[in-house]
Amino acid sequence: MRLLIAAGLLLAWPLTLNAAPKGDALFAENCAVCHQTEGHGGIGLPLDQGRLSLLSDDYLKATIRAGRPGRLMPSFDELSDAQVTAIVGYLRSHYQAPARAYDSAPLAGDAGRGAELFAANCVVCHGADGSGQGRGTGVTISREREFSIMPPAITNPGFLGAAPDAMIAAIIREGRPGGVMPSFRNELSPQDIADVVAHVRVLGKQAADSRPNGERLELTLIVDSPYDFDTTVKNVRQALGGSNFRTFPERFLEEGLTDEFSHDQKQVSLRFCNFTQLFDLLNIEPRLGVVLPCRVTVVEHPDGKVQLIAANMRTISHWFNNDELEAVANKMADAVQAVLEEATL
């Protein structure tokens, strides 16, 4: 009987999800956190009438579906077609931005000639490799940025997979109304623009070939200590001090969850930070706080074994769909690994 009820509940759930999805609610839940409630942008790029009017519905749907690999925007591949259509419909009505339709046929362009035109006109914002100059995405709000709106990575496979050549050409020709990107109508002929698009496609192939292969790493770094609990804690403290980390008061893992007499005294976290690295990371990825601060926890198990446990920053750096994190996170991972090794030497 219970199983029948459970099965009924489970079967009914997707039906309620699929019943006339509301675009505004879906936008609030899935999109507003990065694009802001009114679409002014934040972690994500702004959404407004000028910008949306240049885009086709197919492009918006493909963008929602595929996201931007390595550039924060996730793939919303678990949304139903009806939900994606509802979000696009909401964007169209809320911003009064009619859709454009584009021919999906590729333009006939000379990529070699396009490379020269790209270098002369596009590199200053989009970078020589079209990756958008790095240092985050979206608009300047709380973080230090070189641009008021970060130039998008036009070689990103999510973008190039969603955008037909004709749409890219239209953006180059007309610019981004209300945005930073100017119109190149007077600088570039239609053939020049087709050549630039051809070059962007070549850059896109190079970028796709160099994407990380998604190597699976361990969640946590765990090292056995040959010392007793108190000595290990002291060793970690000394190792952190010698590594130019700023340390914070140590905390029991259960501290704050119960009274001070009831903590497990054999689980203590030594917390530390390198502020330069921290702010580098937060500039690149403002959500990284969910895995901060850095800490090494020393644990004594019931059998007397003492271990040092820390998050593996190499693994974590892959959780945010942000390729820029990798280098700084790897540096931090190396520093933590060195502390673990020194404390257990």
Partner 1 sequence: MKRWLLTLLMMAALLPAAQAAQTTLMARSQMPFDAALAKVQEVLAEHGYTVAHIQKCDGGMAQFGYHSDKYQLVFFGKLEEVRRVSHSHPEMIPFLPLKLAVFAEHQETLVVALDPLELGRYINDADLQIQLARWHSDLRSILQEMREAR
Site for partner 1 in 37-96 (CB under 8 A): 37, 42-43, 67, 74-80, 83
Residue 295 token pair = 């800490």
CB under 8 A: which stretch of 5-13, 106-114, 169-177, 228-236 binds partner 1? 5-13
Q: How far is the CB of 33 from partner 1 (least distance, A)?
A: 4
Give the three-class secondary structure for 76.
coil
Contact range with partner 1 by CB under 8 A, out of 54-62, 195-203, 233-241, 277-285: 277-285
- Residue 165 burial class via C-beta count within 10 angstroms: exposed 0-12, middle 13-18, buried 19 and up: buried
Does position 120 bind partner 1 by CB under 8 A?
A: no
Between residues 101 and 217, which has the closer beta carbon with respect to partner 1? Answer: 217
Quick check: 70 and 323 in contact, CB under 8 A? yes
Indicate which single residue of 199, 201, 295, 314 sits in contact with partner 1 (rule: CB under 8 A): 295
Q: Judged by CB under 8 A, does residue 337 bind partner 1? A: no
Task: Check residue 173 for interaction with partner 1 (CB under 8 A).
Answer: no
- What is the rounded distance in angstroms from the CA atom of residue 42 to the CA atom of residue 37? 10
Spatial CA neighbour of 62 closest among 158, 144, 153, 179: 158
Instruction: Give the bridge partners for 294, in sequence order.
Output: 272
Residue whose CB is less far from partner 1, 126 or 295: 295
Choose which of 93, 104, 238, 258 interacts with partner 1 (CB under 8 A): 258
Using CB under 8 A as the binding rule, the residues of this chain from 139 to 168 that contact partner 1 are: 140-144
Q: Is 8 in the site for partner 1 (CB under 8 A)?
A: no
* 183 part of the interface to partner 1, by CB under 8 A: no
Contact (CB, 8 A) for 119 and 128: yes
Site for partner 1 in 200-239 (CB under 8 A): 218-220, 222
Which is nearest to 295 in space by CA: 257, 247, 341?
247
| Cβ–Cβ < 8 Å for 233, 243 | no
Instruction: Return the range that interacts with partner 1 (CB under 8 A); candidates 2-10, 103-111, 117-125, 151-159.
Output: 2-10
For residue 191, state whether it binds partner 1 (rule: CB under 8 A).
no
Residues 6+ apart with CB under 8 A from 126: 132, 133, 151, 152, 153, 154
Structure token digits, residue 139 = 């608009």
Which one of 98-106, 185-193, 202-210, 253-261 is the stretch in contact with partner 1 (CB under 8 A)?
253-261
